[in-house]
Amino acid sequence: MEENVAQDRPEWTAQPDLASRRFGGTVMWASDELFAEKENLVNPWVPAHRVENFGPKGQVYDGWETRRHRGPGDDQAVLRLGLGGVVSGVVVDTAFFKGNYPPFVSVEAAAVPGYPSAAELAGADWSVLVDRAPAAGDTENFYRVSSPRRFTHVRLTQHPDGGVARLRVHGAPVPDPALLDPRSLDLAALENGAAVTGCSNMFYSSPNNMLIPGLAAHQAEGWETARRRDDGNDWATVRLAGAGIVRFVELDTGNLKGNAPGWASVSGRLDEGEWVPLLPRTRLQPDTRHRFALEDAGPPVTEARLDIYPDGGLARLRLLGELTDRGREAVTKRFQETTG
C-alpha cells in the first residue's frame, strides 16, 4: 500500500487515530489549561500556527499548554477514545512548542465500560503505555506500544508542564459486540472492526477516511488518489468486521466535484479466497451519495475490494448487511481476547 506520509514514519501510524475527534474522541479533563485549551489535543487536522498571534494570555497555540510550575508536580489530561481498541503506538506532537514543551511524557490507558466521569476514572486500573520517555520540541514524538489489551481511555502526563499540540493514539478498533446489531450493520465501518488492507494509491488522503462515521465535511475527509496517466485503475481492499452478507452498497462522492471517479465496482472475497462480484461496474455522479440494493446478496464474504475507474476520490464506502454466525463468533472472540 503506497503511503502519503514520509517513509521514516512508523508503520503503525497508518492505523486509525482512536482518539481523534472524527471518531468522537474528547478530552475530559486537564489539570491546567491556562495558555491553550485541552480540546486541541484531539483535533484531526495538522497543527497550525501564526507567529505573533497574541491573546490576553500570550501566544495563541493550536494545542494544549499549561502554566509554568513553581513547585513540584506534573500536568495531566484525560481523554476518552472515540473508538475503543488495541493501541499500536502513540504520537505526542509538540509542533510549534519550541521553548515550552515538556522534556518528558508518560501515557497510560484504561478500559472502563460505559461513560464514566473524569473523577470516576481517577480510581481506574491504569496501564502504562509510555513510561516517562524523553520528548523533543516542535516535532512528532513516536512511541511504539506493545499491549494486547483493548482500552477506552488514555491519560497523558507532562513532566512537569508545557505544551503539546496533538496526542494521536493509533491502533486497531475493537467493538463491543453487546453494542452491535449483527442483523443490520455496516460491515465496512472502522468502528465495527473493519480495516483497510491495501490500496493502489493514497497520494492525497488515506482510504481509512472512507470508513469513518458521518459524512465528509470536505475533500480531505475522503480517499483521493493521484491522477493516473496509464490504462489502469485505482483500488482499495477492506477486511470486513466479520464474515457477512452484503445487502446494500453505498458509494458517496460528496465534496468531490471535479475529481470523482467515473465508475466504480465492488467485489467480495469468499473463504476459499475467490473474488466474486457484488456491484458491477457502475457509473457515478460527482458530489452524490449513491446507494445500491443488491438483488442477489450472494454468499458470505470476509473482504471487499473497491475499484474506481480510472482514479479520483470517494468520501465514504458503506457495505450494509449482516454478520453470519461465524462472523458474530469472530467479533465476540476478538473482544474477549483483548479484555480478558
* pLDDT tens, residue by residue, 277-294: 999 999 999 999 999 999
Whether 259 shows a pLDDT value over 60: the answer reads: yes
pLDDT (0 to 100) of residue 296: 80
Of 162, 144, 184, the C-alpha closest to 76 is 162
pLDDT (0 to 100) of residue 335: 97
pLDDT (0 to 100) of residue 49: 79
pLDDT (0 to 100) of residue 59: 66
Inter-residue contact 113 to 37 (CB < 8 Å):
no
Whether 2 shows a pLDDT value over 60: the answer reads: no
Q: How far, in Å, are 85, 87, 106, 112, 321 from residue 77 at the CA level?
A: 19, 18, 11, 17, 39
**β-bridge pairing 316-323 and 185-186:** antiparallel
Write out the DSSP string of 269-294. Answer: E-TTS-EEEEEEEEE--TT-EEEEE-
pLDDT (0 to 100) of residue 57: 67
Name which of 49-58, 130-139, 244-253, 322-331 the model is least confident about: 49-58
* Position 3 confidence tier, pLDDT thresholds 50, 70, 90: very low
pLDDT (0 to 100) of residue 50: 80
Cell of 216: 465528509
Q: How far, in Å, are 141, 218, 287 from residue 256 at the CA level?
A: 34, 8, 5
* Position 188 confidence tier, pLDDT thresholds 50, 70, 90: very high
pLDDT (0 to 100) of residue 58: 67
Average pLDDT over the chain, rounded to an integer:
94
Inter-residue contact 318 to 247 (CB < 8 Å):
no
- The proportion of the chain whose per-residue pLDDT surpasses 70, expressed as a percent, equals 96
The radius of gyration of the chain's CA atoms, rounded to the nearest angstrom, is 21
Whether 81 shows a pLDDT value over 70: the answer reads: yes
pTM: 0.92
Inter-residue contact 299 to 276 (CB < 8 Å):
yes
Whether 5 shows a pLDDT value over 70: the answer reads: no
pLDDT (0 to 100) of residue 243: 97
The SS3 call for residue 146 is coil
Read off the pLDDT of residues 114-142 as tens digits, 9 standing for 90 and up.
Answer: 999 999 999 999 999 999 999 999 999 99
